[in-house]
Amino acid sequence: MSYAIETQELQYRAGRTFELGPLNLHVPAGAIYGFLGPNGSGKTTTIRLCLGLLRAERGGVRVLGHDVPSQAPAMFARVGYVPERSHLYPNLTVREALALHGAFHRRWDHQAAAELLGTFQLQGDTRIGRLSKGENGKLLMLLALAQRPDLLVLDEPTDGLDPVVRRDVLMALIDFVSESGATVFISSHLVHELERICDWVGVMDRGRLVAEVPMHSFKNGIKRLRVRNAPAQAGDPPFVLLARERGDGASGTEVWVVRGWQATMRQYFEGIGAVLQDVVDLDLEEGFVELLRTARVPRGS
Amino acid sequence: MFAAICRIQWKASALGVALLATLAFIIPLLTVQQAGFSAGDRRGWDLIVMLSAVETAGTLFPILAVILGLTLSVGAWSADHQAEHVYALTLPVPRWHYVLLRFGAGLLLIAPVVAAVGLGCAVALGSFDLPAGLRSYGGAITLRFALAAAVSYAATFALAAGTKRTTAAVVGVLTAVIVLALVLEAFGVSTAVAEGIMNAIFTRPGPFEVLVGPWSLIGV
Amino acid sequence: MLRAAAVVAALTIVAAAALVGQTPDEQAKLDRLTRRYDDLTARLTNEAEVGVPRVDSVHVGGLWILSDSAESPVLLGAVESFRRLLMQQLGPAPLPLLVGARIAVRFGEAHPGWGHLLTGDTQFIGVQQRRRTSKWLTGQLAQAVDGLLAHRGGASVAAWRGDVHLFHDQGPLLEATHLELLTANAPSADGCRDGSLEACARSLNLIARLPGQSVEANAELRRFVERRLRHRASEPALAPAYSACVDGGDAAACLAFLERAGVQEPTLSTRATGTLLVAVGDVGGPDALARFFADTGAAIVPRLEAAAGMPVDSLLARWRETILAHRPPPTAVPAGMQWFVLGWATVLVALATRSTRWR
Amino acid sequence: MFDEIDPRNPIPLYDQIAARIRLAVASGDLAEGDALPSVRQLAARLRINPATVVQAYRALEREGFVEMRQGSGTYVRSVSTDRRRQTREDQAARLARDLLTEAARLGIAGTEVARALQREMGARAQ
C-alpha cells in the first residue's frame, strides 16, 4: 500500500512538558484521513512536523514520496495546506493573495479559483486583515483547492466557522476530492464533521497516536454491552475489553466497553454464565470518547 | 513568481518609497537654494560659505540611502515575520530562492529613488550657471547614492532575514563591544576597539565605505 | 617683589640656556640650568607660603614646559612626541625663537599660585581628567607653540600672517586653501588661479594695493568693481565714484570707490599665508623659519626671500603649484567601489539565503 | 430523497444510501433508465466521502439494480416486479425488526407493539 504521509518513529519535544511521539503515522493514498484528538494532543504539532515547519528531534517523514524537510519545496508543489491560524499576508487583498499563490503553483486553476470566489462569496478587493474568521477560512481553503494538490493537509479547517460557512467549505472540499481523487488529511476536534467524510481515522492523545484504523472498523468495532451476572474474571473474551463498569440500573448489571465486536460473540456470554442484555452501537464521537478514556486509564482486572 | 513578489513588495513599501523619492528629489533643490545658488544676481555670492553649506547638506544623501535600505528591508520581511514565515515556507520554492526573490524585488525599488536623486540633481543644477572654477557632481552623487542604498539594503536585508534571535545576537554583540570599548576609554584604558570596528566597517575593504567621504553636489 | 625678582632671575637663566646649543657639553650645562630653575621656583613656592603647588619643568630647547606634575607619564610622553614634531616641522634652528617662552600645563586643581606663571610669553593648558592622553596633549602643545610664534617677528609680521597653523596636518589646510583660491570670487584670487604670480602676491596680501602698479592690475580692479559692486552703483553717494572707476578710471579711482563703499577686496585668509610659510620652511632648509621670524625689521617679502633663499616669484610659483595640486577630493565613486559594493551585497545576500527555515 | 441519511446511525453510510435507492427503485420512484446523481454531486450534497457513494453504487450494481456506464453515469436497470416486491418486503421486515428491538430495550412486549400497529393502521385508513 502506498502512503501519502508516512512517519517513522517521529519524535519532537517542546519545553519540558510537551513531548510528541514516537509517532508512526500512515495516511493511505487516496484516503480521507480524519486526524482526531482533544485540544493540545499534538495534532497541529504533528502536521507542522510532517510539512517541515518544525524540526523533528528524531525520525523521518515522507510526504507523497518526498523526504521532509529536505525535499519540502517539491513536496509543497503538490500539497495544499490550510493552517490552523491564517498565515497569509494581512495587507494584501483577496485578489492579490490569489495572484501571489497562483504565481507560485504551476497547477493553479484560475477558473476554479474564480468559481470558488463566487461560491464562497468573497470580495476580491477586501484586505485579508479585514476578513472575518469565516471568510479567512474560506480563503485558505480556496487557495489550497485551486492549487489542485495531490494531498490536502487541513488543520482544523472549519474550527470556529459558523454552520453555513462550514457546509460551504466541506462541499467544496468534497467536490474537489471526487473530481481529483486527492488524499485529504484533516485534523479536527469536531468529531461529527469527520464522521461523514472520513474513511480513515487516526486518534492522537497526549502526543501519542492511540489508534489508526479504517473508519468502518472504528465505528463498528466499539460497542457498549450491558451484561448481567458477569463473573469477576472475564476469562478469555474473543473481543478486546476496554472497560468494565457498574451499570446504573438493576444490581448485577455491568457495562462493558469492547472493541472488535461481532454478533457471533454472543455465545461467549452463555459460556461464562452471563446474560448479554443489550448491545449499544456507539457513534464516532462516543467511540472516540471511550477510546480516549480507556487509553488513559490502565485497564482494570 | 518574481513579478508577484515585486507586486507585494511594492505594496508593502510604496508609501515609504514614494516619500523617500520625493525627499530625494527635493534635497538637491533645497541644497542649491539654501546655499544661495539661485539664478540671477550672483554678485553677492560667497562661494566658500556656499560650498560648505552644500557639503553639509550632502550628508543627507547617505542618510537617505540608509533609510531607504532600512525601509525596503522592513518592507521585504515584516509581513513574513508577522506570519512567522509559515506562508513563505509552504511555497514550493527553496528558501534561498525565496530570499533571492525578496531581495531582487526590494532592489528594484531602489531604482525610482535613485532616479529621483538624479532628476533632482539635474533640475537643481540646471537652475543656474555654475561659476568658473566650480564643478557639479550630480552624476557621481546619483551613482554613489545607488551604491549606498544597495549596500545598506543588502546589510539590513541580511540582518532581517535571520531569526529574531540571530538578529538580536548580531546587533547585541556589536553594540556591546562598542559600549564596552567606550566605557574602557572613559576609564582611561585606551583600546581603540571602537575605532577599529568603525574603521573595519567604513573603510576599504569594509562594506560601508561608500557611505562616508564627500557627497557634495557642487565642488571645485 | 621677591617673586618678581625670582621670575626675572629665572628668565635670565632660561635666556642663557637658550644661547647654549645642543652639543652634549652644552646639554649638561642646560640640565644644570634646569635644576637651578627648579630650585628657584621651589624657593619661590616656599617663600610665598600660600600653598602654591610645587611646579616642575621640562624643557624642549629653550622652551620651558612647566607643570604641577612633570613626572606624569602622560606629560613626558606628550613632550617626547612634541619634541619630534617640533624638529620635524621647524628644524632645530627656530628653537631660539621660543627662548623665554613658556607653556604651563596644569593637571591638578586651579590655584591662585599659578598666576605668577601666566605672565608674558606663556601659553596655558589645563588638562581635564577625561582628556588625559599623550596624544591630545601633544596637539595642545603644538597649538600652544603656534600661539607663541604669533608673537615673533614683530608687529608687521604678526599682522600679515595672523594665526599660524604650522603644526596642523598640512593636507586639509592645503585643500582648504585650494578651495579658497578657486572660490574667493576676487580678481586677485582668480588671477592667481589663472597663473598670474602678481595676482597670487596680491591675494596673499604681499603687495600693497598701490595705484598704477600695472595695467593688468588696474583692469582687474575695475573688473572686480563691475562684477561685485554693480548693485551699489545706484546709491547716490557712490554713483560718481563708481563711474569714475568703471569708465576707464585708473586703480586709484577704483580704490577710492572701494574705500567709499567700505569694501575690501577679498584676499585669501591667514590659513593660506600659513601654507606659504610652510612652503618657505620646505624650500629654505632647516632654519628657514628661524630666519623668517628673526627680528630684522624688514618687510614681509624680503623676509620671505631671505628665508626661502629664492625670489618671491619662484616661491609663489611653487606655492601655487602645491595649492593647485591639493584639490579636495571631489564627490566621486572611487575606483573599484562599485565592485566592492557588489561583492558585499553578494556576500550579505548569500548570508541571507542561508537563513534557517526553523523558526 | 436522501434526507434521512444519518452518519451517526450505526448502519454504514453506503448501506443507508444503497437501501434508499433500492427502495426508490422498488417503489417506482426511480424507473428504468433514470440517471442517479453523479458521485460528485451526491457526495458534495451529502458532504460525505465520494468513495462511500461509489461503494453504494457498486453494491447496487452487484445486486443488479443499477448499471455504471464508464464516463457517463449510473442508470437504473429494469427490475422485475417480483424483485421489487421482495425488496419492499425486506425493508418492511427490517423496519419491524428494528421496532421490536427498540421495544424490547424499553421493556414493551411484542404483542403490545403489534396491537399498537394495528390501531395506528386503522387510524391511518380512516
Would you tell me how many other CB atoms lie within 10 Å of the CB of residue C76?
A: 14
Q: CA of A72: which chain C residue's CA is closest?
A: C357
Nearest to C231 among B41, B89, B214 (CB): B41
Q: Do A174 and D49 touch (CB under 8 A)?
A: yes
A54 contacts chain C (CB < 8 A): yes
* Measured distance CA(D25)–CA(B118) in Å, rounded: 82
Q: Grid coordinates representing C56? A: 616642575
Q: Where are the domains of chain D?
A: 13-76, 81-125
Cis peptide leading into residue A22 (ω within 30°) = yes
With touching defined as 3 or more inter-chain CB pairs under 8 Å, the answer for chains C and D is no
- The pLDDT value recorded for residue C235 is 82
Model confidence at C216, pLDDT cuts 50, 70, 90, reads low
D45 contacts chain A (CB < 8 A): yes
Model confidence at C215, pLDDT cuts 50, 70, 90, reads low
Q: Reply yes or no on whether the pLDDT at C33 is more than 60.
A: no
Model confidence at B3, pLDDT cuts 50, 70, 90, reads very high
Q: CA of A103: which chain B residue's CA is closest?
A: B1
- Our CA-based measurement puts residue B174 at a distance from the nearest CA of chain A, in whole angstroms, of 30
Instruction: Read off the pLDDT of residues C219-239 as tens digits, 9 standing for 90 and up.
Output: 666 776 776 677 777 888 888
Q: Reply yes or no on whether the pLDDT at C42 is more than 80.
A: no
Are C272 and C322 spatial neighbours (Cβ–Cβ below 8 Å)?
no
* Measured distance CA(A186)–CA(A193) in Å, rounded: 10
A13 forms beta bridges with A19
Model confidence at C315, pLDDT cuts 50, 70, 90, reads very high
Q: Lowest mean pLDDT: which of B30-39, B162-171, C27-36?
A: C27-36
The residue among B15, B49, B12 whose CA lies nearest residue B34 is B49
Q: What is the mean pLDDT of residues D47-59?
A: 91
Nearest to B150 among C179, C331, C341 (CB): C341
More confident residue, C190 or C163: C190
Neighboring chain C residues of A68 at a CB cutoff of 8 Å: none
* Measured distance CA(A279)–CA(A294) in Å, rounded: 19
Q: CA of A33: which chain D residue's CA is closest?
A: D49
Signed CA dihedral, C64, C65, C70, C71: sign only: negative
- The pLDDT value recorded for residue B88 is 92
What are the distances in angstroms from CA B56 to CA A282, B33, B119? 83, 13, 20
Helix pair C73-90, C134-149: axis angle to 10 deg: 50
CA A11 to chain centre: 19
Tell me which fold the domain A3-206 belongs to.
Answer: Rossmann fold (3.40.50)
- The pLDDT value recorded for residue C4 is 47
One digit per residue, pLDDT tens: chain A, 301 residues? 589 999 999 999 988 888 897 999 999 999 999 999 888 889 999 999 999 999 999 999 999 999 988 999 999 999 999 998 899 999 999 999 999 999 999 999 999 999 999 999 999 999 999 999 889 999 999 999 999 999 999 999 888 788 888 888 888 999 999 889 899 999 987 787 788 889 899 999 889 998 898 888 777 777 888 888 888 777 788 888 877 887 776 667 888 888 778 878 888 888 888 888 888 877 777 878 877 877 776 544 3
Instruction: Read off the pLDDT of residues B30-39 as tens digits, 9 standing for 90 and up.
Output: 999 888 887 6
Are B32 and B123 spatial neighbours (Cβ–Cβ below 8 Å)?
no
The 8-class DSSP code of residue A93 comes to: B
- The pLDDT value recorded for residue B163 is 84
Most confident region among A15-24, B51-60, C53-62, C266-275 by mean pLDDT: B51-60
Q: Reply yes or no on whether the pLDDT at D60 is more than 80.
A: yes
- The pLDDT value recorded for residue B84 is 83
- The pLDDT value recorded for residue C58 is 66
Q: Which amino acid makes up residue C225?
A: V
Return the number of CB contacts < 8 Å for A and C: 5
* Measured distance CA(C174)–CA(C182) in Å, rounded: 12
Q: Reply yes or no on whether the pLDDT at C59 is more than 90.
A: no
D6 forms beta bridges with none
Q: Reply yes or no on whether the pLDDT at C263 is more than 70.
A: no
The 8-class DSSP code of residue C71 comes to: T
- The pLDDT value recorded for residue B47 is 80
A295 contacts chain B (CB < 8 A): no
Q: Where are the domains of chain B?
A: 2-219
A100 contacts chain C (CB < 8 A): no
Instruction: Read off the pLDDT of residues B78-131 as tens digits, 9 standing for 90 and up.
Output: 888 888 889 999 999 999 999 999 999 999 999 999 999 999 999 999 988 888
Q: Tell me which chains share at least 3 CB pairs under 8 Å with chain A.
A: B, C, D
Are C290 and C182 spatial neighbours (Cβ–Cβ below 8 Å)?
no
- The pLDDT value recorded for residue B213 is 85
- The pLDDT value recorded for residue C15 is 44
Rg (CA), chain B: 21
The 8-class DSSP code of residue A68 comes to: E
Model confidence at C159, pLDDT cuts 50, 70, 90, reads low
C355 contacts chain B (CB < 8 A): yes
Q: Do A104 and B12 touch (CB under 8 A)?
A: no
Q: Reply yes or no on whether the pLDDT at C255 is more than 90.
A: no
- The pLDDT value recorded for residue A44 is 93
More confident residue, C141 or A114: A114
Model confidence at C41, pLDDT cuts 50, 70, 90, reads low
C122 forms beta bridges with C102
Q: Do A178 and D48 touch (CB under 8 A)?
A: no
Instruction: Read off the pLDDT of residues B34-72 as tens digits, 9 standing for 90 and up.
Output: 888 876 666 567 787 888 899 999 999 999 999 999 999
Would you tell me how many other CB atoms lie within 10 Å of the CB of residue B73?
A: 25
* C233 Cβ contact partners less than 8 Å away, ≥ 6 residues apart: C239, C242, C243, C246
Q: Tell me which chains share at least 3 CB pairs under 8 Å with chain B.
A: A, C
Q: Where are the domains of chain A?
A: 3-206, 218-296
* Measured distance CA(A115)–CA(A124) in Å, rounded: 12
Q: What is the mean pLDDT of residues D91-118?
A: 89
Neighboring chain A residues of C353 at a CB cutoff of 8 Å: none
Are D57 and D66 spatial neighbours (Cβ–Cβ below 8 Å)?
yes
Q: Reply yes or no on whether the pLDDT at D88 is more than 50.
A: yes
Residue % of chain C over a pLDDT of 90: 8
Q: CA of C324: which chain B residue's CA is closest?
A: B220
CATH number of the D13-76 domain: 1.10.10.10
With touching defined as 3 or more inter-chain CB pairs under 8 Å, the answer for chains B and D is no
User: A3-206 with A218-296: one CATH topology?
Assistant: no
B87 contacts chain A (CB < 8 A): yes
Q: Do C357 and A54 touch (CB under 8 A)?
A: no
Neighboring chain B residues of A104 at a CB cutoff of 8 Å: 1, 4, 91-93
- Our CA-based measurement puts residue B74 at a distance from the nearest CA of chain C, in whole angstroms, of 14
* B57 Cβ contact partners less than 8 Å away, ≥ 6 residues apart: B27, B30, B31, B34, B35, B217
Q: Do B82 and A52 touch (CB under 8 A)?
A: no
What are the distances in angstroms from CA D85 to CA A274, D23, D93, D117? 41, 10, 12, 21
Instruction: Read off the pLDDT of residues C320-346 as tens digits, 9 standing for 90 and up.
Output: 999 999 998 888 888 888 899 999 999
Neighboring chain C residues of A54 at a CB cutoff of 8 Å: 358
CATH number of the A218-296 domain: 3.30.70
How buried is C2 (Cβ within 10 angstroms: 0-12 exposed, 13-18 middle, 19+ buried)?
exposed
A104 contacts chain B (CB < 8 A): yes
Q: Which pTM was predicted?
A: 0.78
What are the distances in angstroms from CA B157 to CA B70, B114, B142, D6, D11? 8, 18, 22, 56, 60
* Measured distance CA(A284)–CA(A215) in Å, rounded: 9
How buried is D31 (Cβ within 10 angstroms: 0-12 exposed, 13-18 middle, 19+ buried)?
exposed
- The pLDDT value recorded for residue A52 is 93
- Our CA-based measurement puts residue C179 at a distance from the nearest CA of chain B, in whole angstroms, of 7
Intra-chain end-to-end CA distance of chain B, in Å: 48
More confident residue, D58 or C173: D58
Q: Grid coordinates representing C335? A: 575606483
D51 contacts chain A (CB < 8 A): yes
Model confidence at C11, pLDDT cuts 50, 70, 90, reads very low
Q: Grid coordinates representing A298? A: 490502565
| Torsion region of C154: left, alpha or beta (phi above 0 gives left; psi -120 to 50 gives alpha) | left
Would you tell me how many other CB atoms lie within 10 Å of the CB of residue C247?
A: 9
The 8-class DSSP code of residue C301 comes to: H
Give the 3-state DSSP-derived string for D29-85, with helices as H, strands as E and coil as C: CCCCCCECCCHHHHHHHHCCCHHHHHHHHHHHHHCCCEEEECCCEEEECCCCHHHHH
* Measured distance CA(C322)–CA(C312) in Å, rounded: 15
